[in-house]
Amino acid sequence: MRNRMLWTNNRGKEMTSSILHSMKASSGIFIIFTTLLVMISACEKEETHLVIQHEREGKTFMEIPIEIGDKVALSWVHSVEKTPWTDIFRIDKSCDFMLEETQFKSFGAGVEHEYEDLERRDGTFVAENIEECHNSVNWIHSHDAEYEVKVNQEVVAETGDLPHHVPLKILIEEG
């Protein structure tokens, strides 16, 4: 007969050391698992949202979940040239909106003309690698200019979804 150590629980029943060892191991795994769950939930970031709101009054018109690396495009028809224009921003860790690219049909009033990386594609000038940091994207919304907001190439706000002749801004909010 093997020499086994016996333990007694609080009900007076005998338990072998192997059973006790098994219970201790199970308890240890439970404690580790619970600790990991608590740590993961504590490390989780609050959900990040793209918010479209009135620039001065702060009234929110839209709130859309967004992640680092997502692309946000603001498109409109230029008021003088009457041609489409699009600015494409990347949601970035270092700043909220990193202007990556601008697309336009013609050079005219107010159009930057000294882009380092500029080419013409299918009749549209495309300036890339701009890497210009913005904390928000601001504009005066006009139904006449046919503004549109896209996130990852999906339209999230059409011209009529937002009020006419109102100063708007797009910003990032946590929570």
> Would you place residue 46 in the very low, low, confident or very high pLDDT band (cuts 50, 70, 90)?
confident
Phi, psi of 38 (to 5 degrees): -65, -45
What are 67-97's pLDDT values in tens digits? 999 999 999 998 888 899 999 999 998 899 9
Report pTM: 0.72
Both structure tokens of 37:
């769950």
Lowest-confidence segment of 37-41, 87-91, 99-103 by average pLDDT: 37-41
